Amino acid sequence: MRWFWLLASAAVALRLLLVPFAGNLNLGSRPEVVTPVTSLRRLAEGYWLKQSSLSPYAGSMYHGSPLLLIMLGPLTVKRNDGEPTHIVCSLIFVLVDLCTALLIRAIGQKLELTNRKSLKLLKLSKPSDSFGVDAADISSLIYLWNPFSIMTCLGSCTSPIDNLMVVLAIYGACSRIAPLAAFGWVMATHFSLYPAILIIPVLLLFGYGPDAPPSKLFKEKSPHTTGSSVRILSWPPILQFLVWAAIWFCYVLLLSIISLKGFDGLYEMLKKTHGFILAVEDLSPNIGVMWYFFAEVFEFFRVFFLIVFHVNILYMISPLAIRLMHRPCFLAFVYIAISSMLKSYPSVGDAALYLSLLGLFANELAEMKFSFFLFCGYIGVSLLSPVMHNLWIWRGTGNANFYFATGLAYTSLQTVLVVESVSAMLNHDRMLRKELKKA
Q: Could you give the CA distance from residue 337 to residue 379 in angstroms, rounded to a whole number?
A: 18
Report pLDDT for 436.
Answer: 76
Strand partners, 39: 157
Report pLDDT for 212.
Answer: 81
118-122-124-125 Cα dihedral, nearest 10 degrees: 20
Are 320 and 334 contacting, i.e. CB atoms less than 8 angstroms apart? yes
pLDDT in tens, 171-224: 999 999 999 999 999 999 999 999 999 999 999 999 998 888 887 776 666 655
Using alpha carbons, select from 309, 337, 334 the residue that is nearest to residue 320: 334
Q: Three-class SS of residue 84?
A: coil
Low-confidence ranges of the chain (pLDDT < 70): 1, 79-86, 125-133, 218-231, 439
Q: Three-class SS of residue 157?
A: strand
Cβ contacts of 294-303, under 8 Å, gap ≥ 24:
295/400
Helix (H) and strand (E) counts in the chain: 21, 0
Q: Could you give the CA distance from residue 133 to residue 15 in angstroms, rounded to a whole number?
A: 26
Q: Three-class SS of residue 39?
A: strand
DSSP type of residue 366:
T
Report pLDDT for 439.
Answer: 61
- Number of C-beta neighbours around residue 137 at 10 A: 21
Report pLDDT for 116.
Answer: 86
Residues, the chain: 439
Report pLDDT for 234.
Answer: 85
Burial class (CB in 10 A: 0-12, 13-18, 19+), 427: middle
- The vertex-317 CA angle with 183 and 333, nearest 5°, equals 60
The backbone torsions φ and ψ at residue 123, rounded to the nearest 5 degrees and listed phi first, read 60, 45
Report pLDDT for 81.
Answer: 47
Are 161 and 40 contacting, i.e. CB atoms less than 8 angstroms apart? no
Are 191 and 161 contacting, i.e. CB atoms less than 8 angstroms apart? yes
CA 185 to chain centroid, in Å, comes to 12
Q: Could you give the CA distance from residue 208 to residue 126 in angstroms, rounded to a whole number?
A: 22
* 241-255 residues labelled b (16+ CB within 10 A) or e (exposed): beebbeebbeebeee
Cβ contacts of 319-323, under 8 Å, gap ≥ 24:
320/422, 321/200, 321/201, 321/204, 323/426
DSSP 385-403: HHHHHIIIIII-SS-HHHH
- The vertex-11 CA angle with 356 and 373, nearest 5°, equals 40
DSSP type of residue 61:
S
